[in-house]
């Protein structure tokens, strides 16, 4: 997970298609400096596969603007059955969380939501964690957060130590998704 968040942001921006309300706003079009168009009602729909087999389809939407600590973020929501978890890691991380662009960086605010079980919720609060930086070189750590917390489970003390790291992935000149769209 440490290096996966960033890679998934980059992959989702490159591999997925983006939908919107069909306005002609140029800020909604992907480009080298607008790699993840953060406009309310934009969405990404993609197939999630494992071992070369499709396991499901996830949809991730920018639901609304939200203000946190005087900064405006885009709040993400996943579209899936309430009884199921999202199929993809990226959808699971972004669902219910917020993102904003600051300069060349994408900053994530929310919670990891990586509960291991109902008895061991591992929800780490994140505030403005850089998860992508278009100005960073491949392999550069663009953001990290570490810490620990303790809780008692069934009478036993448990300490969880974590280290979240976002590492800049590879920049591709172009990429063609299955189906032929570049």
Q: Could you tell me if residue 125 is inside a domain?
A: yes
- C-beta separation of 127 from 45 below 8 A: no
Residue 31 lies in a domain: yes
Percent of the chain with pLDDT over 90: 28
- Long-range contacts at 169-173 (CB < 8 A, ≥ 24 apart): 169/6, 169/7, 169/10, 169/11, 169/138, 170/10, 170/138, 171/10, 171/138, 172/14
Q: Which of 32, 39, 104 lies closest to 74, judged by CA? A: 39
Q: In this structure, is residue 11 part of a structural domain?
A: yes
> For the chain, what is the domain count?
1
Which tokens in the block code for residue 133?
Answer: 């930086």
Average pLDDT for 77-96: 76
What is the DSSP code (8-state) at residue 25?
-
Question: Given pLDDT bands bounded at 50, 70 and 90, which one contains residue 99?
Answer: very high
User: In terms of residue numbers, what domain contains 61?
Assistant: 4-167
Cα–Cα distance for residue pair 6/128, rounded to 1 Å: 14
Structure confidence by residue, pLDDT tens digits, 125-157? 899 999 999 899 999 999 999 998 887 877 888
pLDDT digits (tens, 9 = 90+) for 11-31: 344 333 344 444 445 555 555
What pTM did the predictor assign?
Answer: 0.73
- 107: exposed, middle or buried (C-beta count within 10 Å: 0-12, 13-18, 19+)? buried
For residues 167 and 9, the answer to whether their CB atoms sit within 8 Å is: no
In a domain, 134, yes or no: yes
Does residue 176 form part of some domain? Answer: no
Tokens standing for 154? 């069934």
Q: Output the CA angle 141-145-147, nearest 5 degrees.
A: 145
- Taking only the tens place, the pLDDT of each residue in 60-73 is 899 999 999 999 99
Instruction: Kindly state whether residue 13 falls inside one of the protein's structural domains.
Output: yes
Q: What H or E segment, with its residue span, contains residue 91? A: helix 89-94
Q: Are 139 and 6 in contact (CB under 8 A)?
A: no
In a domain, 179, yes or no: no
Residues 81, 95 contacting (CB under 8 angstroms): no
Residue 181 included in any domain: no
Q: What percentage of the chain has pLDDT greater than the value 70?
A: 72
Q: Sort 74 into a burial class: Cβ within 10 Å, 0-12 / 13-18 / 19+.
A: buried
């Amino acid at each position: 997970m440490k290096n996966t968040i960033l890679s998934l942001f980059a992959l989702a921006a490159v591999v997925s298609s983006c939908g919107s309300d069909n306005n002609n706003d140029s800020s909604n079009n992907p480009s080298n400096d607008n790699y993840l168009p953060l406009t309310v009602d934009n969405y990404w729909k993609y197939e999630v596969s494992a071992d070369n087999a499709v396991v499901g389809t996830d949809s991730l939407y920018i639901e609304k603007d939200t203000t946190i600590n005087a900064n405006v973020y885009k709040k993400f929501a996943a579209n899936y059955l309430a009884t199921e978890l999202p199929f993809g890691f990226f959808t699971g991380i972004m669902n219910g969380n917020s993102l904003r662009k600051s300069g060349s960086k994408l900053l994530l605010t929310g919670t990891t939501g990586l509960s291991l079980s109902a008895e061991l919720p591992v929800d780490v609060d994140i505030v403005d964690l850089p998860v992508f930086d278009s100005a960073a070189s491949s392999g550069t750590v663009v953001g990290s957060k570490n810490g620990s917390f303790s809780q008692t489970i069934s009478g036993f003390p448990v300490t969880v130590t974590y280290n979240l790291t976002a590492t800049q992935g590879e920049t591709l000149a172009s990429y063609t998704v299955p189906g032929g769209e570049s």
